[in-house]
Amino acid sequence: MTAAREERLPLDAASVDNARTTLLQLLARAGVYSGDAEELIGLVEAGALAGAHEALAAAGRQAPPGSGEPYAAGWRDGSRAVTEGLAGLADRALAAAVDADSAEDPEDRPRVGRMEVERAKVAVVPLYLSFTEESDLDPEVTEQVLAAVLRTMGVRRRASYPGRLTAFAAEHRAHLERLYATYGPGSAIAIHGRYTLVHSPTSLAVLERLAGRPAELRDEWDAAELPPAWLDGLTRAWDATA
């Protein structure tokens, strides 16, 4: 055994549990509900496993240089087994984190939880600020809008929605820059009225759903009794700046 290998100190189960319990207690003292904290920790754990899977899938299939073909074939088979095992672990960890069965119907849309709305806020605000200055919108209205957005997808897709938003903002950056410059904060368009939503970070989330699931969004929008003019105004602004 090499000295480098002897120095490796993988965390044992008791130490990992200690770290998890410590974090849960600290979050509880900060007023975070234990169920919400468990969900966030579970998502981080699932993400760590998914990241390990991607890293090994990208770099772990090739045998060391100079290996014979029988050895290389065994190496590839072993690497494939490990990466597939990690993928399965990541999938089960995600299902446990969002309290969904691994065979969940992607179209099943249960009630939107408070932490799902909070995660959407954390994702959308910095993206919005990369285009314009933040303006005020009633916190309750912000939550209602984001809840309507999240109800268009199942719990697994909600968990990965920050990534979807990031990709949408990157793909349509030039279009979004024109939209917010023309209709957003600092423009000649007043904050109140048809284009109210353009002045809110939630507009980015709404635009992403309008591009991907417009019918579902309109159904949820009506169910939440949100102003139809906001949705129509955002649609008009998007089309006008295309």
Residue 61 has pLDDT above 70, yes or no: no
Instruction: Fill in the amino acid letter for 89.
Output: L
In contact, 197 and 180? CB cutoff 8 Å: no
Q: Which of these, 209, 135, 207, lies nearest to 178 by C-alpha position?
A: 207
| DSSP characters over the chain | --HHHHT--PPPHHHHHHHHHHHHHHHHHTT--HHHHHHHHHHHHHHHHHHHHHHHHHHSSSPPTT--HHHHHHHHHHHHHHHHHHHHHHHHHHHHHTT--TT--TT---PPPHHHHHHHHHHHHHHHHTTS------HHHHHHHHHHHHTTS-HHHHHTHHHHHHHHHHHTHHHHHHHHHHHSTTSSS-SSSTTGGGGSTHHHHHHHHHHH-HHHHHHHHHHTT--HHHHHHHHHHHHHT-
Give the residue-averaged pLDDT of 94-104. 64
The reported pTM is 0.74
Residue 6 CA to residue 137 CA, distance in Å, equals 57
In the chain, % of residues over pLDDT 70: 88
Of the two residues 106 and 94, the one the predictor is more confident about is: 94
Residue 79 has pLDDT above 50, yes or no: yes
Per-residue pLDDT reduced to its tens digit, 160-179: 899 999 999 999 999 999 99
| pLDDT tier, 103 (very low <50, low <70, confident <90, very high otherwise) | very low
Query: What pLDDT does residue 167 have?
Result: 95
Per-residue pLDDT reduced to its tens digit, 8-45: 667 778 887 888 888 888 888 888 888 888 888 888 88
Query: What pLDDT does residue 108 have?
Result: 57
Query: What pLDDT does residue 166 have?
Result: 94
Residue 177 CA to residue 180 CA, distance in Å, equals 5
Residue 166 CA to residue 136 CA, distance in Å, equals 22
